[in-house]
Amino acid sequence: MAIPTTTVLVVEDEDSFIDALTVGLAREGFRVQVARDGAQALDLFDIVQPDLVLLDVMLPKVSGIDVCRELRSRSKVPIIMVTAKASEIDTVVGLEVGADDYVSKPYRLRELVARMRAVLRRVPAAVPVGASGGGEALTVGDVALDPDRHEVVIRGEEVSLPLKEFELLTILLENAGRVLPREVLIDRVWGHDYVGDTKTLDVHVKRLRAKVEPDPAAPTRIVTIRGLGYKYEMPKAARV
Ligand code: CA
């Protein structure tokens, strides 16, 4: 499940963080490039052409805030700011410097990676784990989905889906025939935005079934795999 083509530019001046991130993010399948100060980050950016920038706020030479502003003027690259103090969060958010998200030190690598994937998912050009390359159209049985146009056609009729339902259906169709554990679905669709209880996923599945299933009371497309998660059934020839 590696993503060898996703390059992260880590802008960080503390050795302990650089070491931990280099090892940890590589293990998660990211290509890691490191800039140790703000000036180097700006120099390296055009060379590295990262898919995502992880940017410490407190940096030597050029501050993370200024680096973020400068990068934003050059590129739409996803930027996650890293803050060390609560007061810095206020600065990052209040100044609206154009960052896509922020994390506070100390953070767990798991949390950081979930946020990175969530941010990457919002960018069509950067393809996260398991997503459809290049946003190609998906057709499974009588359901067709076009990620680029955000269109879903069910049994010949165009159906309008809210964003989360659309994302959930995309992942289910991409992985048709495979069991998707609840945690994977939650991480892929909501990431760190998942603040609701564990029923949120089930509620969305129920809404999707109402649109996708010929008989929502007896699902044959989006099936529950007890104790695990959900699976989108591949169509069988005999099934109508
Ligand atoms: Ca720092």
Q: CA 55, 74, 150 angle in degrees (round to 5)?
A: 90
Which 8-state DSSP code applies to residue 193? Answer: G
Handedness of CA 185, 190, 194, 196 (dihedral sign): negative
Q: Ligand 1 mean position to 14 CA, how many Å?
A: 6
For the stretch 54-69, pLDDT in tens is 999 999 999 999 999 9
Q: Ligand 1 mean position to 36 CA, how many Å?
A: 9
Contacts 24+ apart (CB under 8 A), 208-216: 208/161, 208/165, 208/168, 208/169, 208/172, 211/154, 211/159, 211/161, 211/165, 212/143, 212/154, 212/169, 214/155, 214/240
Token pair, residue 108, equals: 């767990």
The arithmetic mean of pLDDT across residues 101-110, rounded, is 87
Q: Ligand 1 mean position to 59 CA, how many Å?
A: 5
The whole-number pLDDT of residue 128 equals 40
Q: Ligand 1 mean position to 54 CA, how many Å?
A: 12
Query: Per-residue pLDDT for 36 more than 90?
Result: yes
More confident residue, 133 or 62: 62
Query: Per-residue pLDDT for 170 more than 90?
Result: yes
pTM: 0.52
Q: What percentage of residues in the chain have a pLDDT greater than 90?
A: 46
Q: Ligand 1 mean position to 56 CA, how many Å?
A: 6
Q: Ligand 1 mean position to 146 CA, how many Å?
A: 42
Amino acid at 183: E
